[in-house]
A and B are shown apart, each in its own frame.
Chain A
Amino acid sequence: DAGVTQSPTHLIKTRGQQVTLRCSPKSGHDTVSWYQQALGQGPQFIFQYYEEEERQRGNFPDRFSGHQFPNYSSELNVNALLLGDSALYLCASSFGTGQFRNYGYTFGSGTRLTVV
């Protein structure tokens, strides 16, 4: 059973460009969350998608946007890249949102984004 799949694994972009990262959730999961992890720090929550809608959002600017498709896969888009956007971007999936659902998130191995 495949876990969470993220692509690409590594990416180098130039300041000011736009980037799209992709995530396929674990089989049976319908909720996708995105996290940003700077070097040496814990992951920071960006947003969560469920039923193709953004359900929760962390403290990130509007340059960060996302989408969830009918097959539950998701994309993270970042516009007008800054040097500070260099980080590991993690996708996490789970079953449903709310207290009556399965426990625990399954994380992917992430996409390492470098902005130069």
Chain B
Amino acid sequence: DAKTTQPNSMESNEEEPVHLPCNHSTISGTDYIHWYRQLPSQGPEYVIHGLTSNVNNRMASLAIAEDRKSSTLILHRATLRDAAVYYCILSPLPSGSRLTFGEGTQLTVNP
């Protein structure tokens, strides 16, 4: 499985945008980029996924670099509820393949 690199931790203030980076320089042409987050005492939660084009949904936006070697998860207005560990994962299919989690980024949101 191709490897992803994320910062161990990031901080943000409530109601400000948050940009969570992910590097995946060995990504293959068929790898999808998935983002999950895990709130305290809960299982991971699907956030968003994409292949080449930028994606938006009700939770977040995913910006994918033109060479696909990096991506950024964007939370437009952070809330206290967004404090979680965010995982960037590569998978060769939209779904159905195993998810290989790294250690993720611990996001702290300050009031």
Interface residues in chain A, defined as those with a beta carbon under 8 Å from any beta carbon in chain B: 4, 31, 33, 35, 41-45, 48, 56, 58, 90, 92, 94-99, 101-110
Contact = CB atoms under 8 A, between A and B. Distances in A.
B46 A105 contact: yes
Contacts of A110: 43
B96 A42 contact: no
B94 interface: yes
A103 B41 CA distance: 24
Given A109-B42, A110-B43, A104 B102 contact: no
| Interface majority SS (helix, strand, loop, mixed), chain A | loop
Given A90-B43, A109-B41, A45 B96 contact: no
A42 B102 contact: yes
Nearest to A98: B96
Contacts of B34: 104
B43 A101 contact: no
Contacts of A33: 98-99
A37 B44 CA distance: 11
A104 B95 CA distance: 6
Contact of A44 (B85, B87, B93, B101): B101
Interface in B86-108: 87, 93-104
B15 interface: no
A48 B42 contact: no
4 closest Cβ pairs, A-B complex: A42-B101, A107-B43, A104-B46, A97-B96
Contacts of B16: none
B44 A58 contact: no
A42 to B, nearest CB: 3
B101 A4 contact: no
Interface in B57-111: 85, 87, 93-104
B96 A43 contact: no
Contact of A45 (B41, B49, B100, B103): B100
B43 A108 contact: yes
